[in-house]
């Protein structure tokens, strides 16, 4: 545990040193939010969102890129430095998810920032964006099934249930769901990043009971880096994750959860993320098939904003709910 805490502090220190120059670099390359009218997945205007977030124009986007680079390099460096012999495919699936979803998000950030056309396969309309995510998540599922030997789910009170090759589409569903859930949740300053730290601490605790040092090292480095980023991301944020961070972190959080083998705990620990994406999905489906809104605003954090709650109040209370979900999820994972 001492080694893991040391790695956490090292990651925090390095990210802390680099983040201010990185913010300046984002300003230099003009990778920051532009004044625009936002639309939902069905290309309908979202005036409520613009009402509360229009003042944030000019904030740099892409902070997730720094975290991805720092954590990926430190992960590989740590294994070499300590002569640690990791499970190759476990490390590979973590870093593949971390980097590939990050690159997809980075492309989307650049496209949106500089106003590239929203047409065709590489315009990344919703259906094409989902297509890329599904392809990547299926590759991840194949690695889990063929290289890591995952062909079962472990549900408390029901035990180990063999599902065979169905684990591949299950993995794909979980990864894509969490990638988009995190992206949707990343709408208020500090909200998604704070929830990520809470979820990671929960999975850190679970991995320690499984005696999985490979997972523990990566989680330690990730927590340290995100904590340094969070200092600059809390209200009023000086930098945002962007899609590069949101898609990467959501997908990788799902992979970390799946590697623990406690699939029931994954949905519980990420309960706030599940609620956020669930509210958005219900809203989209209601508008698509009934032409009416199910909620006055979605996702949940936007609904509370519309009710008049200050942004920091929403974030803090969502963090508290996230802590309760995390505790409950760990309890489910470790209870005999």
Please report whether residue 295 resides in a domain.
no
Instruction: Please state, in angstroms and rounded to a whole number, the distance separating the CA atoms of residues 79 and 280.
Output: 40
How far is 168 from 137, CA to CA, in rounded Å? 9
Structure tokens that stand for 206 in this block: 């679970």
Answer whether residue 213 is part of any domain: yes
Residue 313 lies in a domain: no
Copy the structure tokens of residue 299: 């996702």
Residue 328 lies in a domain: no
Chunk the chain into consecutive blocks of 10 residues (it has 336) and report each block's average pLDDT, rounded to whole numbers.
90 97 91 57 52 69 96 91 73 96 93 67 68 96 95 77 93 96 94 97 90 88 98 94 96 95 89 95 86 85 91 97 96 81
Number of domains into which the chain is organized: 1
The backbone region for 111, taken as left when phi is positive above 0, alpha when psi lies in -120 to 50, beta otherwise, is alpha
Residue 14 falls within a domain, yes or no?
yes
Task: Give the DSSP H or E segment for 279.
Answer: helix 271-289
Q: Number of C-alpha atoms within 13 angstroms, CB side, residue 134?
A: 7
Tell me if 309 is assigned to some domain: no
Distance between the two ends of the chain, CA-based, in angstroms? 23
271-289 vs 167-185: helix crossing angle, rounded to 10: 90
Domain that holds residue 168: 2-263
Kindly report the number of other CB atoms within 10 A of residue 70's CB atom.
25
- Evaluate whether 246 touches 98 at the Cβ level (below 8 Å): no
Q: Is residue 182 part of a domain?
A: yes
Q: What is the DSSP string of 169-238?
A: HHHHHHHHHHHHHHHHHTTSTTHHHHHHHHHHHHHHHHHHHTT-HHHHHHHHHHHHHHHHHHHHHSSSPS
- The answer to whether residue 84 is domain-embedded is yes
């Amino acid at each position: 545990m001492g080694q893991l805490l040391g790695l956490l502090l090292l990651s925090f220190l390095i990210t802390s040193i680099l983040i201010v120059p990185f913010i300046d670099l984002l300003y230099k390359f003009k990778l920051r939010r532009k004044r625009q009218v936002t639309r939902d997945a069905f290309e309908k205007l979202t005036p409520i969102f613009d009402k509360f977030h229009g003042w944030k124009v000019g904030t740099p986007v892409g902070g997730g890129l720094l975290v991805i680079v720092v954590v990926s390099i430190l992960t590989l460096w740590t294994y070499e430095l300590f002569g640690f012999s990791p499970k190759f495919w476990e490390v590979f699936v973590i870093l593949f998810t971390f980097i590939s979803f990050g690159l997809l998000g980075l492309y989307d950030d650049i496209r949106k920032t500089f106003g590239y056309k929203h047409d065709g396969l590489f315009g990344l309309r919703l259906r094409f964006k989902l297509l890329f995510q599904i392809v990547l998540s299926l590759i991840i599922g194949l690695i889990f099934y063929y290289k890591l030997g995952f062909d079962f789910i472990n549900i408390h009170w029901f035990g180990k249930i063999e599902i065979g090759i169905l684990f591949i589409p299950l993995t794909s569903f979980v990864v894509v769901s969490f990638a988009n859930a995190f992206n949707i949740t990343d709408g208020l300053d500090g909200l998604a990043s704070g929830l990520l730290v809470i979820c990671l601490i929960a999975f850190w605790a679970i991995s320690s009971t499984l005696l999985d040092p490979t997972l523990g090292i990566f989680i330690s480095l990730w927590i340290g880096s995100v904590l340094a980023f969070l200092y600059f991301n809390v209200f009023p944020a000086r930098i945002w994750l962007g899609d590069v961070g949101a898609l990467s972190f959501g997908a990788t959080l799902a992979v970390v959860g799946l590697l623990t083998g406690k699939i029931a705990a994954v949905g519980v620990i990420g309960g706030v993320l599940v609620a956020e994406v669930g509210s958005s999905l219900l809203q989209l489906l209601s508008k698509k098939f009934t032409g009416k809104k199910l909620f006055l605003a979605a996702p949940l954090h936007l609904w509370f904003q519309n009710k008049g709650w200050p942004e920091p109040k929403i974030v803090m209370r969502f963090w508290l709910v996230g802590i309760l979900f995390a505790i409950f999820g760990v309890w489910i994972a470790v209870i005999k």
